[in-house]
C-alpha cells in the first residue's frame, strides 16, 4: 500500500514549517496568497488529500456553513450567496448551498442534513412560516449552532436576522406612483404570512392613507412571483369598475407580466397606467420599457449576514444574541412609472 503524503512531506519539499502548510491548506488569512498558491500546487502534485473529518474532530469545527434559500436560480438569492461567500471564504469557510423550492418538507430535510454534516452555522431564508417545522428550526438554536435569517425570517428568540425595510420600500414605491398622478393603485402581493410581503402591503396602505387616497381591498391580489401571475392579475383588475391606473407589485416578475398584458391590450405605459416592481432584477433596467423597482441590496445583505455569523462564531457568548440588521431600500425610478404630468 502506497504511503500517503502528509503536510510534513509538503513542508519538507518547500522548506517551510508544517504549521505554515496547514494554515495555507485551510485558507488562513495570515498566509500570503503567493504562499497559499505554492502550497496548493505542491499538494496537488504530491497527491495530498486532506482528512476533513479528522481535522473537524480535532478543532471542533468543520469550517462549513450551510445556506438555505427558496430558489438558487433567482438573481436575488444568487447575489446574496455571492456576498456570503465573498465574506466567508477569506476566513477559511466553505459554503454548502441548499434550496427548498418553497417546499416545507425540503426545508426540514435541508436543516437536518446540514446539522448532521456538523456545519458551523446555518444562514437561512425561510420558505414559509408554518409552525409545524418550528421545532426543527429551534433544534438549530438548542444545539448552539449559529442561525441567522436573511430576507425572509421568523420571529424566534435568540436568532439574528438581516433584512431590508420592506415597509419603507412599499411606502416609497407607492408614493412615487401617487406623485406621478395615479389615483387608483392596485397592489400585487405575495403570501402575507411571510413578513416581507405583509410589510410591503402595510407600506402600500400607509402611503395611500398619508396621501388621502382610499384603500380598496378589491385592488389587492395575492399572486405568485412569476410573469403569468402578473398577466392574470391585470386581466382581473381591468374588469373592475373603476379599474386601477397604477400597480405596485411586490415582485418584478409579476410586474413584468402586468406590463406585457397591459401593452397587449393597448394601454399606454406610463401615460395611462404606471407600474412599480420590487427586487431590481437585472431585466428591469435593460428592457425597452425599463421597469421602476425597489432595490433589495442582495450583495450587501449577503455580506452582512456573513458578518453577523462571524461575530457570533468568534464569540461564544454571542451565539444566541438577537442582532437585527435592517438595510435601507433604494428606489430605481425608470420609464414604467415616469409619467410626464405636464403633458
The pLDDT-based confidence of 129 (bands split at 50, 70, 90) is low
The C-alpha cell of 299 is what? 450583495
Q: Model-level pTM?
A: 0.80
| Contact criterion met (CB below 8 Å) for 52 and 25 | no
CB atoms within 10 A of CB 282: 10
Per-residue model confidence (pLDDT) at position 316: 63
Mean predicted confidence (pLDDT) in 310-324:
75
Cell 409579476, residue located: 254
Min mean pLDDT across 143-157, 213-227, 314-328 is at 314-328
CA atoms within 13 A on the CB side of 74: 22
- Mean pLDDT estimate for the chain: 89
Q: Which fold, 62-162+297-321? A: Rossmann fold (3.40.50)
pLDDT at 221 (0 to 100):
95
Backbone dihedral region for residue 287 (phi beyond 0: left; psi -120 to 50: alpha; all else: beta): beta
Q: If you classify domain 7-50 with CATH, what class do you get?
A: mainly alpha
Q: Tell me if the bond preceding 242 is cis, omega within 30° of 0.
A: yes
What confidence score (pLDDT) does residue 77 get? 95
Residue 136 near residue 68 (C-beta atoms within 8 A): no
User: What's the confidence (pLDDT) of residue 343?
Assistant: 38
Paired residues of 293 in beta bridges: 277, 332
Tens digits of residue pLDDT in 28-54: 878 888 998 898 889 888 888 766 545
Query: For 58-94, what is each residue's pLDDT tens digit?
Result: 555 778 999 999 998 889 999 999 999 999 998 889 9
C-alpha span between 116 and 95 (Å, rounded): 15
Domain spans in the chain, listed from the N-terminal domain onward = 7-50, 62-162+297-321, 166-296+331-337
Percentage of the chain modeled with pLDDT above 70: 91
Find out whether 121 and 145 touch, Cβ atoms under 8 Å.
Answer: yes
Topology alike, domains 62-162+297-321 and 166-296+331-337: yes
Q: What CATH architecture does domain 166-296+331-337 belong to? A: 3-Layer(aba) Sandwich (3.40)
Residue 185 β-bridge partners: 246
Q: Which of 307, 279, 282 is nearest to 86 (CA)?
A: 307
Tell me which residue of 67, 72, 56, 164 sits closest to 125, measured CA to CA: 67
Please report how the helices 227-237 and 252-264 are oriented relative to each other, as an axis angle in degrees rounded to 10. 50
Burial of 110 (0-12, 13-18, 19+ CB in 10 A): buried
| Packed helices 18-25 and 7-14: angle between N→C axes, nearest 10 degrees | 110
Residue 183: pLDDT above 90? Answer: yes
- Which residues does 129 contact at the CB level (< 8 Å), separation at least 6? 154, 193, 194, 195
Cell match 433584512: residue?
163
Amino acid at each position: 500500500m502506497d504511503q500517503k503524503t502528509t503536510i510534513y512531506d509538503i513542508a519538507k519539499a518547500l522548506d517551510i514549517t508544517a504549521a505554515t502548510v496547514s494554515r495555507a491548506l485551510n485558507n488562513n488569512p495570515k498566509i500570503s496568497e503567493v504562499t497559499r498558491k505554492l502550497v496548493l500546487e505542491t499538494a496537488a502534485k504530491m497527491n495530498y488529500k486532506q482528512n476533513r473529518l479528522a481535522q473537524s474532530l480535532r478543532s471542533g469545527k468543520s469550517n462549513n456553513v450551510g445556506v438555505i434559500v427558496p430558489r438558487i436560480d433567482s438573481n436575488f438569492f444568487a447575489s446574496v450567496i455571492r456576498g456570503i461567500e465573498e465574506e466567508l471564504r477569506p476566513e477559511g469557510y466553505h459554503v454548502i448551498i441548499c434550496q427548498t423550492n418553497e417546499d416545507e418538507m425540503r426545508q426540514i430535510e435541508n436543516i437536518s442534513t446540514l446539522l448532521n454534516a456538523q456545519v458551523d452555522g446555518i444562514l437561512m431564508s425561510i420558505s414559509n412560516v408554518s409552525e409545524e417545522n418550528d421545532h426543527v428550526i429551534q433544534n438549530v438554536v438548542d444545539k448552539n449552532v449559529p442561525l441567522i435569517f436573511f430576507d425572509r425570517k421568523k420571529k424566534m428568540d435568540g436568532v439574528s436576522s438581516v433584512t431590508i425595510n420592506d415597509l419603507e420600500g412599499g411606502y416609497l414605491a407607492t408614493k412615487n406612483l401617487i406623485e406621478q398622478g395615479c389615483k387608483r393603485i392596485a397592489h400585487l402581493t405575495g403570501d402575507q404570512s411571510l413578513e416581507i410581503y405583509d410589510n410591503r402591503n402595510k407600506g402600500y396602505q400607509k402611503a395611500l392613507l398619508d396621501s388621502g387616497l382610499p384603500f380598496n381591498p378589491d385592488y389587492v391580489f395575492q399572486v405568485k412571483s412569476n410573469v403569468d401571475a402578473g398577466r392574470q392579475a391585470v386581466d382581473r383588475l381591468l374588469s373592475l369598475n373603476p379599474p386601477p391606473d397604477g400597480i405596485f407589485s411586490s415582485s418584478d416578475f409579476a410586474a413584468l407580466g402586468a406590463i406585457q398584458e397591459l401593452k397587449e391590450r393597448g394601454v399606454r405605459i406610463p401615460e395611462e397606467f404606471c407600474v412599480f416592481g420590487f427586487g431590481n432584477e437585472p431585466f428591469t433596467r435593460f428592457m425597452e420599457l425599463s421597469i421602476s423597482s425597489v432595490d433589495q441590496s442582495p450583495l450587501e445583505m449577503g455580506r452582512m449576514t456573513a458578518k453577523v455569523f462571524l461575530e457570533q462564531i468568534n464569540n461564544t457568548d454571542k451565539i444566541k444574541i438577537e442582532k437585527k440588521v435592517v438595510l435601507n431600500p433604494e428606489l430605481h425610478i425608470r420609464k414604467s412609472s415616469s409619467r410626464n404630468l405636464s403633458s
